[in-house]
Structure 1
Amino acid sequence: MKIDVTVLAATEFFAIPWLVGQDQDFFSKRGVEVENILAGSGGSATLRTQLSGDAPIGEIGYKSVLDAWSQDIPVRAVGGGAQGPYGGEFYALADNDRVNGIADIKKWAYTNPGSSVYALSFLLPKEAGLSTDGERIAAGGVGEGAALLEAGTVDAAWLPPSLASRNKGKFKQVVATSDYLTDFQQSVITASPAYAEEHPDVVRAVLAGWQESARWIAENPDRAAQLYAEHVDLPVKAAVGVVKGAIESNVWNVGFNPAALERATEAAVVSGFEGEVDYCEFFDGSFLPEGAARELPTKCGT
């Protein structure tokens, strides 16, 4: 069977297991050909595409899926995804001698209201034992944070790994998320309940292929970086930095991680989510491959 998949931030490290799965035939040898990796166009739009059947399986931001589930949109998290803190780093201008660490930041630039990056701008100083006071400015996108830094409007801004790796002489990292957080569910692999019921073997094949891809990346970082560099037109050296950073953070995991889910739910609340999360209804581990963890923050019935 041929399918397309939708992946959030498809120019960032989220796309790498999917690229590897295509290149190494980890999906096709299981009977599923992933033809196109489509860039997510926002959580709700991506989910509508998924529900329409045009891209029936996707990797979507945790909070976007959580918001959809709370609004009774039929979606299920069938696999893990990005569970490490990698990619949540904040940067200052390299020549800014005043800002060298998290305690120096008074003005933070994040992406958009309600985003995980917005939540991190509160969670990180809290974990560091610092005040969460300070000004937060919505950059409105990926590149706009860099523009705010250059204009001197903010002390630190979130920058995606690809941009930071490409501009190491221009920006310096002043907050490494992994210094404060060990587990953080950034994305989940999703399918509509109807599609999963009609095509369970496809869902299982995709998850098993993704799992094999994640293991292969850890063993072949340079080759994975080459694939990623070609995909996003990134210098190979910069791509190697992205891949190795993700590996060191243990970011990719097809199974469920209770600590990562609880931390991400905490971040979602900071970003405006209201209500309780019924993990047993929201998640379905029946499609996970052998060896993948199925534990959730709450114990579910058999």
Structure 2
Amino acid sequence: MNTIRTATTITTLGLVAVMMAGCASAAAEPSEQSEVDELRLGYFANVTHAPALVGLEQGLFEDALGEVEVTTSVFNAGPAAIEALTAGAIDATYIGPNPSINTFIQSGGESARIVAGAATGGAALVVADGIDSAEDLAGTTLASPQLGNTQDVALRVWLADQGYATDVSGGGDVSVTPTENAQTLTLFQDGQLDGAWLPEPWVSRLVIDEGADVLVDEAELWPDGEFPTTVLLVRAEFLEQHPDVVEQLLEAHLAAVQWIADNPDDAPGVINAALEAETGKPLSDAVIERALEHVTFSVDPHADTFETLVSNGLEAGTQKEGSIDGLFDLRLLNGLLEASGSDTVSAAGLGEDSP
């Protein structure tokens, strides 16, 4: 049996009942809502975005949103998705926590809200043979998906903890070069990179397909190994104007997380098919199975970790100082969870969470 890590308390029958009956919006009264016929959704072709992949592949977004058409955009990393969100090109996106923090702080709290968690875990520093410890990294070149994305921040902070200086232009004791994940794989194959801090399935691709070694599993750096990798972020204006549509989006998201939990044998194939549709090539069975073993899917965004993530972004030099009070709006999510008889999740004092 395939091993898929899930952490969800969704009651399937209760969720179905809620989806059939609908749930009163906690974000706005019906009179405040306006009609919309399209939801523009962003996500990445990563295993850590499996709820998006499953939701699309299984038709769960279509089922939940009904007459509202879901159109999608695929990104390599968070900063690019944030650029699209800020420009109004998309309405919501699956994304890492650090870019979510960045846009909220830079906009003075006006840009977006985290409405749910999606995945924890599934990120690591992988390196070439001959690099056996932090001491071996002096003078090396390492990649991250994009400057200021969640893995980029994690890499820079970890290197600083090891005594290495880095800068955002690629200088310092260790050169950090933000690179698209697919290009990272090619450069590693060609010996032009010594390693990379990546999300799944790219970690497993380098380990299984290219013989890389895991030097740091990010889970080892967090209490109980739990750190948010992916959250669901919505434009604040869209949430305010169309809470009914965001609620439907969350219904689909909950259904996708539940489907992954309920179908551990089928999930790898479904996720792989979605990845193949985006990248043109499926992962090997060994890669997809290893990747899924290192990711937990949950609607809890682990808001209690975000103050630490803010500190990490400041230390990495990729983020401005500012408050994240109000970053979370979990009212719609918790309304659905409560109605289905499931445990609600906390905003840790950083926003709204009472349904």
* Alignment TM-score > 0.5, same fold: yes
What is aligned with 1:296?
Answer: 348
How far apart are the structure 2 equivalents of 1:179 and 1:3?
A: 37
How far apart are the structure 1 equivalents of 2:284 and 2:209?
A: 16
- Does the residue aligned with 2:300 lie in a helix, a strand or coil? coil
Q: How many residues align?
A: 289
Alpha carbons of 1:136 and 1:222: their partners in 2 closer, same or farther (altered >3 Å)?
farther
How far apart are the structure 2 equivalents of 1:293 and 1:301?
A: 7
Where structure 1 has 5 or more consecutive residues not aligned to the other structure, the ranges are: none
Letter in 2 for 1:100: D
What is aligned with 1:191?
Answer: 234
How far apart are the structure 2 equivalents of 1:256 and 1:159?
A: 20
Alpha carbons of 1:212 and 1:300: their partners in 2 closer, same or farther (altered >3 Å)?
closer
Q: Is the contact between residue 117 and residue 230 of structure 2 (CA under 8 Å) also seen in structure 1?
A: yes
Deviation at 1:44, TM superposition (A): 6.0
More relative contact order in 1 or in 2 (CA 8 Å, sep 6+)?
A: 2
- Does the residue aligned with 1:5 lie in a helix, a strand or coil? strand
Letter in 1 for 2:45: T
How far apart are the structure 1 equivalents of 2:215 and 2:83?
A: 37
Q: Is the contact between residue 105 and residue 324 of structure 2 (CA under 8 Å) also seen in structure 1?
A: no
How far apart are the structure 2 equivalents of 1:203 and 1:23?
A: 20
Select the residue among 63, 82, 88 that pairs with 2:98. Answer: 63
- Does the residue aligned with 1:80 lie in a helix, a strand or coil? strand
Deviation at 1:12, TM superposition (A): 0.6
Q: Is the contact between residue 328 and residue 347 of structure 2 (CA under 8 Å) also seen in structure 1?
A: no
What percentage of residue pairs aligned between the two structures are identical? 16
2:311 is equivalent to residue 266 of structure 1? yes
What is aligned with 1:286?
Answer: 331
Root-mean-square deviation over aligned CA pairs: 3.2
What is aligned with 2:34?
Answer: none
Select the residue among 185, 205, 214 that pairs with 1:173. Answer: 214
Alpha carbons of 1:13 and 1:294: their partners in 2 closer, same or farther (altered >3 Å)?
same
The CA deviation string for residues 279-298 of structure 1, in whole angstroms up to 9 with x for no partner, is 22x22222213233133255
TM-score (norm 2): 0.69
Matches within 5 A, 1:148-159: 148-150=187-189, 152=191, 155-159=194-198
2:45 is equivalent to residue 15 of structure 1? no
Letter in 2 for 1:85: G
Letter in 2 for 1:242: A
Alpha carbons of 1:232 and 1:29: their partners in 2 closer, same or farther (altered >3 Å)?
closer
The CA deviation string for residues 182-241 of structure 1, in whole angstroms up to 9 with x for no partner, is 233334322223321222111112113212311321332332211221122223502233
What is aligned with 2:11?
Answer: none
Q: Is the contact between residue 101 and residue 324 of structure 2 (CA under 8 Å) also seen in structure 1?
A: no
2:158 is equivalent to residue 109 of structure 1? no
What is aligned with 2:158?
Answer: 124
TM-score (norm 1): 0.79
Q: Is the contact between residue 49 and residue 118 of structure 2 (CA under 8 Å) also seen in structure 1?
A: no
Deviation at 1:160, TM superposition (A): 4.4
Where structure 2 has 5 or more consecutive residues not aligned to the other structure, the ranges are: 1-36, 166-172, 277-281, 338-342
2:291 is equivalent to residue 255 of structure 1? no
Alpha carbons of 1:135 and 1:82: their partners in 2 closer, same or farther (altered >3 Å)?
farther
Alpha carbons of 1:287 and 1:183: their partners in 2 closer, same or farther (altered >3 Å)?
same
